[in-house]
Structure 1
Amino acid sequence: MSNFIVKKVAVLGAGVMGAQIAAHCVNAKVPVVLFDLPAKEGPKNGIVLRAIENLKKLSPAPLGNKEDAALIGVANYEDNLDVLEGCDLIIEAIAERMDWKHDLYKKVAPHIAPNAIFASNTSGLSITALSDGFSADLRARFCGVHFFNPPRYMHLVELIPTSATRPEILDQLEGFLTTTLGKGVVRAKDTPNFIANRVGVFNMMATMYEAQKFGLPVDVVDDLTGTKLGRAKSATFRTADVVGLDTMGHVMKTMQDNLQSDPFYPVYKTPELLEKLVSAGALGQKTGAGFFKKAGKEILRFDGEKNDYVPSTGKADELVVRILKEKDPAKRMKALRESTHPQAQFLWSIFRDGFHYIAVHLESIADSARDVDFALRWGFGQKNGPFEGWQAAGWQQVAQWVKEDIDAGKALCNAPLPQWVFDGRDGVHTPEGSWSPAKKAYVPRLDLPVYKRQAFRAPLAGEGVADGTNGGTTVFEDDSVRIWHQNDDVLILSTKTKMHVIGPGVVAGLAKAIEEAEKNFKGLVLWNADATEGGAFSAGADLQAMLPAFMAGGANAIGPEVSKLQNALMNLKYANVPVVAAVAGLALGGGCELMLHAAKRVASIESYIGLVEVGVGLVPAGGGLKEAAVRAANDAKGNDILQFLKTYFTNAATANVSKSALEAQQMGYLKQSDTIVFNPYELLYVAKAEARAMFDAGYRAAAKKLIPVTGRYGINTIKAQLVNMRDGGFISAHDFKLGAMIAEIVSGGDVEQGSLVSEQWLLDLERKAFVELLNNPKTQERIMGMMQTGKPVRN
């Protein structure tokens, strides 16, 4: 076994992509130096310094911690080329101009270390043409690497070799991109715009073409082609605005310049509406106007006929919405095709166009259908890839319908579907692999060492492979939880409730899982199957599950339910085997408290953690504030506890939620000793490894100790600040009440400063405050408002 460890990265080009790729390297604790041209005025590295400063202002944030911007090294091509000699990976990310890239390559090539990988981050230029002029040795270490924007959040990276690229270079780079940077890697052929942009932008152009044909405005199209189709919320025209209409035009031009012999070539013509907007300088989100524009709180859409913005009010017709709600994909597709409604005909047309395109081009752009589906899922936010959609809707029937439309002249071009489409198959994904027209076979996935870290790889419909909902051996399962294992020595608890909220069933499941783990396993991992797809760890306590008890016995009837949750989390904390929380997505309120009581946390970089109960007029009551007091006392190490307590208090009193796992460490919700994982598909593997290692090291739960608290001194100090905020109009009277209650709990109640209290004492304070607030009309308003609208009520 030989390790490939990237000790240092150089990014050439401090533009939007280059700076954000550098930022994500820093997120992953990879030393990185960012290069650009020497500035003509001011500091010589001024261009890079300004780019780094701008990273702190961008939203969504490229950096998990803004302070980490200082860790990005700065350099210019005139003074610092020698720095390249110490870099294992060099990523060029300058503007999409072949001549500019070649000029830069001549400058940097002599300084690239003999074993370094050199890659160009390009969205569509020929990688082979980019390598012209390289020595044979450098050409063997050169490839394309296409990050999607924004690099921190977009899962897809396309890896594009030339015929000269050494295979081990690709394997090493795929391992680094997958584990260290957390990406889903698709290997693409060196064709214009590769896979995701080639197919994704074609789909957008075809959608624009069909929208014009059926006379549908941009807002109606976006309502039809977003979440209702299992695609990104930004749908079609809004996606173009986010990407930038000039960028879209550039990608389209690459297709126009390089694909003249493509049978779909006429569709690559830049849409008239897009050209009109670009000419007017309306480039989308970055200029404040594109297909859509925000005017105050109102969203306006561009009307091509009026050549102006009008109110955006168009929606999908209810008849079409009902068709789209049909659960059977085959029935849904049939209904769209047979309906005479223009919106339904439009949707059938864009499905037909997409299926037609991927079938004709699969052999030339990708090794297999798998690469196309993952590229569209990870690069364009689709729930299912296009081949998956076709296969689910009935392969042969859909193929026949597409053929009929081609023969009738209804399709975008008259190119016939390839012969393999009609060979009797049921689809392109099977347990043996995915279809490769070039190999005329179903090819399995790459079996690189990095993928041993993924307990369940990203599934494809049709593969028939077990996933996190049914893999392994089930010990116990009901509507709330599944307790299971992978035929090894670590038990897993997965919650099944909506958003993984914690109700009586989950509390009972926790007790069962801990008992089973203590008897027969080395540890227990809390992990949910949808963690790999952006699902929540837990959105908190199930307030609706408490309603029957509340209606029957009032607020006092809730006290025993709160006690059950508190006891369950304390049993988890003091279990005789290590409990590891595998956190991804939302961990809010009770979900945060569940995580806090684990022996260790393994968190995905995209974890959004916080105690948010004040949003519904309550205070945390599952031990979250108790843990704040415990952690503050531990942090203080004999110093003034209040100085360490203030951060925990502020986070809870303002319902502050971390914007990353890295920020959660700063906030104290994650400890510095907790592990942050960048690829959500590796979360379960790492969590199990941590649990096993803790057990093998002789794990024992910490002894229960009394906690020193700040008492009345802490309460009064915090309340004095709250009074100022209330009297200054910054918080309401009810916010003041909530803040004062939180201050009392985290300070240990009405006791002397330095008093020692038990964890149970603090839990009793939490429960008492929680029940009292349930009786408060202002809190009841907030709870009902949240249940009805999903938004916090300010009262």
Structure 2
Amino acid sequence: MSRFNVKKVAVLGAGVMGAQIAAHLVNCKVPVVLFDLPAKEGPKNGIVTRAIEGLKKLKPAPLGVATDAALIGQANYEEHLEQLRDCDLIIEAIAERMDWKLDLYKKIAPYVAPTAIVASNTSGLSITKLSEVLPEELKPRFCGIHFFNPPRYMLLVELINTPTTEPHILDKLEAFVTSALGKGVVRAKDTPNFIANRVGVAGMLTTMKEVENFGLSYDVVDDLTGKKLGRASSGTFRTADVVGLDTMAHVIKTLQDTLSLETDPFYASFATPEVLKTLLEMGNLGQKSKAGFFKKVGRDIMRFDLASKDYVPAGQKADEVYTRMLKKPAAERLQLLRNAEGAEGRFLWAILRNAFHYAAVHLAEIADNARDVDLCMRWGFGMKQGPFELWQEAGWLTVANMVKEDIDAGKALCNAPLPDWVFSGPVADAGGVHTPQGSWNPSTGQFVPTRSLPVYARQHFPESVLGANAPSASTAGTTLHEDDAIRLWTLDDEVVIASIKTKMHAIGPDVIEGLLQGLALAEDKYQGMVIWSNDEMFSAGADLQAMLPAFMMGGVKAIEGAEFEMQQAMLKLRYANVPVVSAVRGLALGGGCELAAYTTKRVAAMESYIGLVEVGVGLVPGGGGLAYIARRAAENAANSTGKDLLPFLTEGFTAAAMAKVGTSALESRKLGYLLESDVIVPHKDELLYVALNEAKALYASGYRAPLKRQFPVAGRQGQATIMGSLVNMRDGGFISTHDFYIASLIAGVVCGGDVDAGSLVNEEYLMTLERQAFGALLGNPKTQERIMGMMSTGKPVRN
């Protein structure tokens, strides 16, 4: 299959979704032009211009770097339709009105390139009906593409074909959306609201119905249906506020308009809840209008009270007994909830039973297999497990019989029986719908394996479902060494992989020892080393808990020794005889940031959050982070025509002194923690593949470590300039006296101490200054107060 080479994308519709899809395309280096109607007043592109400006203010940020908004092209349907001829992909994302979409398709059809794909980003309208207005030559290249909001952060994208969509078109689009945009793709059938919204919104509606049945408040329900239940931390009603109550109402209306009791036995549960009607009438649309089921008043969170149509104080929590129940193994948990006497427990069983019931009854209609349903609920609704996974884990036939008993007793939402395949045949024999051979497809009566598109060869350990027995990164490959701190292993006998195993991948002496052991192996027999772990944590930094006993027994001297060893390890990684690549995903903070900075190259997932955060615990970076800032400033200055070193030092100093963390890999590059030569990977599951290939490519090109050089520092003159700014910040009340002291020590190190401007130093010299500053702070009572506060509460202490 030839590669779908997307040189440019057009997004039609500059509303919330369209603008954010355009933003994500820019994040992923895909050129994009955003279209909308011509403005009635002022410049014709006014609507698009305002939408792009609005991207800079949205939270969570749709852009990795706010200034990249300027990279989004602007166009309108009156003047610029010719630009569509240059686009390989056209994504329509206008309002959910069938008539508006059809009118737009007629308008753009003459300008679509002969090989371009056209896709509608609809959350539930019929893709087949949308295609009917298209010219015959365009129908094979038309499909649905459903991004979830917000597009940058939500993994799920549903692709929906029509009877006339050519299969290879979906294959090409799936490869592009997966690898170039970093998404998890599920192919959905062209049924109302597809898979995720069909199951998810039906689940929210039935949850709201059960809330009325059991008389629970919204804050208690959100406490029960958030992380405690293995779902998104926002729970049910806060999630509705974030999505937008108007958006939710539209999706509900799609269910109401396109389904009936004849086509969906749960239809009676799809009535718009009275509370939702009331909030919509009041104009309270959720987060976008700053009021919905909840609203913030000052620092207080209030919840809506339907009886008074006013807001009352929120903050109620669920009974602790149910919190304990939800921590039990799946089988015991469901039995306890089903037999609970309290309203909260019976409510939880009801919503789980309804989810199992609904998913089983509708599986054949909405999806090709059970895996697609579970992945949709994970990726689109933030669940740790989909309904079929939980059902299977708890005991397939046991749970099936519990659900059947409730249906027979009239306790379920409808009397539709569970399908026959639930109780007999291959599923019952296998103990569930997920097996190593694949996941159950009730239409064909077979277990269906995952699609084997070439793009998935780039994912060594893709997300899988319970029961599939997919390879685990913790046991895969050949183990070279393993202890409690680290696993050294290889997939291909060419590159050593180092996977840190400590809690939050904290870096202590055992991790340092393991990394150096891996490096020795790599230098002896392999082409390089990759530091990678298969979760959202590269490393949260140095292990403070391991450090404190040594400090209590031996004082600062004991810590200086451990710090010296860590610094020396960083230098060994930097000057190794083979390339060492950091595969960064999620958090890389403090020592984790330093570890990445001292490797040969970094391959970072788009959602990587990198920074030196030691100020939060009253310390300075002590693993070479400040030496790195000084060296990079000197290297950047050497490549410039300017002779003043200080401007190149300022950003690095500010980032460390203010504990700035890049809110994306793109912003981390702006802060200097990633270089222009480093690779940013959109899809988290491709990270290891790319990192291994980068290591091998460096080795194949004759890699040699950089020579150790001296470099100039800003000296006492640069330090004096920085101190002047710090005095103003302290005297203006922007930083505390202790913050001032910490920042002054950071300034002293990055400027090279009490030396003349332009003095030549090496990394070891600056690392000595780091250790001195670190030790001075460690003995300071205010720093000790910050450390103990962070360890006990997980939150920084401001003193």
TM-score, normalised by the number of residues in structure 2: 0.98
Query: Are 1:722 and 2:726 counterparts?
Result: yes
- Worse-matched range after superposition: 489-498 or 192-201: 489-498
Indicate the SS of the match to 1:554. Answer: helix
Contact kept, 8 Å, 1:193 with 1:251, in 2: the verdict is: yes
Contact kept, 8 Å, 1:648 with 1:668, in 2: the verdict is: yes
Indicate the SS of the match to 2:58. Answer: coil
CA–CA distance in structure 1, aligned partners of residues 477 and 272 of structure 2: 51
Aligned to 1:629: 630
Structure-to-structure mapping, 1:145-544, within 5 angstroms: 145-260=145-260, 261=262, 262-326=264-328, 328-423=329-424, 424-425=428-429, 426-530=431-535, 535-544=536-545
Residue type of the partner of 2:789? G
Residues 462-509 of structure 1, C-alpha deviations (whole Å, 9 max, x = no match): 011212222111111111111111133111011111211111221111
Alpha-carbon shift at residue 307 of structure 1 (Å)? 2.6
Structure-to-structure mapping, 1:585-624, within 5 angstroms: 585-624=586-625
Alpha-carbon shift at residue 334 of structure 1 (Å)? 1.1
Alpha-carbon shift at residue 454 of structure 1 (Å)? 0.4
Alpha-carbon shift at residue 635 of structure 1 (Å)? 0.3
CA–CA distance in structure 2, aligned partners of residues 285 and 133 of structure 1: 36
Residue type of the partner of 1:311? P
Alpha-carbon shift at residue 528 of structure 1 (Å)? 0.6
Residue type of the partner of 1:552? M
CA–CA distance in structure 2, aligned partners of residues 189 and 470 of structure 1: 36
Aligned to 2:693: 689
Query: Are 1:71 and 2:71 counterparts?
Result: yes
Query: Are 1:785 and 2:789 counterparts?
Result: yes
CA–CA distance in structure 2, aligned partners of residues 35 and 465 of structure 1: 43
Query: Are 1:86 and 2:86 counterparts?
Result: yes
Residue type of the partner of 2:767? L
Alpha-carbon shift at residue 757 of structure 1 (Å)? 1.1
Alpha-carbon shift at residue 556 of structure 1 (Å)? 2.4
Aligned to 2:660: 656
Alpha-carbon shift at residue 560 of structure 1 (Å)? 0.6
Aligned to 1:18: 18
Alpha-carbon shift at residue 569 of structure 1 (Å)? 1.2
Aligned to 1:53: 53
Alpha-carbon shift at residue 788 of structure 1 (Å)? 1.8
Give the counterpart of 1:665 among 646, 657, 669. 669
Contact kept, 8 Å, 1:459 with 1:467, in 2: the verdict is: no
Distance 1:717 1:543, change over 3 A: same
Indicate the SS of the match to 1:740. Answer: helix
CA–CA distance in structure 2, aligned partners of residues 12 and 541 of structure 1: 47
Residues 83-139 of structure 1, C-alpha deviations (whole Å, 9 max, x = no match): 001110000000000000011111000100110000000000000000112222211
CA–CA distance in structure 1, aligned partners of residues 135 and 284 of structure 2: 44
CA–CA distance in structure 2, aligned partners of residues 340 and 381 of structure 1: 29
CA–CA distance in structure 1, aligned partners of residues 407 and 549 of structure 2: 59
Contact kept, 8 Å, 1:711 with 1:747, in 2: the verdict is: yes
Residue type of the partner of 2:713? V
Indicate the SS of the match to 2:539. Answer: coil
CA–CA distance in structure 1, aligned partners of residues 163 and 515 of structure 2: 54
Residue type of the partner of 2:708? K
- Worse-matched range after superposition: 158-167 or 134-143: 134-143
Alpha-carbon shift at residue 318 of structure 1 (Å)? 1.4
Query: Are 1:745 and 2:749 counterparts?
Result: yes
Indicate the SS of the match to 2:693. Answer: helix
Residues 487-544 of structure 1, C-alpha deviations (whole Å, 9 max, x = no match): 33111011111211111221111111111111121111110111xxxx1111111111
Contact kept, 8 Å, 2:105 with 2:133, in 1: the verdict is: no
Residues 294-329 of structure 1, C-alpha deviations (whole Å, 9 max, x = no match): 111111111223332111132111111111111x21
CA–CA distance in structure 1, aligned partners of residues 294 and 69 of structure 2: 33
Contact kept, 8 Å, 1:583 with 1:595, in 2: the verdict is: yes
CA–CA distance in structure 2, aligned partners of residues 347 and 666 of structure 1: 46
CA–CA distance in structure 2, aligned partners of residues 40 and 299 of structure 1: 40
- The answer for unaligned runs of 5 or more in structure 2 is none
Residue type of the partner of 2:284? A
Alpha-carbon shift at residue 341 of structure 1 (Å)? 1.9
CA–CA distance in structure 1, aligned partners of residues 231 and 416 of structure 2: 27
Structure-to-structure mapping, 1:732-771, within 5 angstroms: 732-771=736-775
Residue type of the partner of 1:546? M
TM-score, normalised by the number of residues in structure 1: 0.98
Residue identity over aligned pairs, in percent, reads: 64
Aligned to 1:96: 96
Q: How many aligned residue pairs are there?
A: 790
Contact kept, 8 Å, 1:485 with 1:491, in 2: the verdict is: yes
Indicate the SS of the match to 1:537. Answer: strand
Contact kept, 8 Å, 1:581 with 1:600, in 2: the verdict is: yes
Residue type of the partner of 2:459? Q
Query: Are 1:556 and 2:557 counterparts?
Result: yes
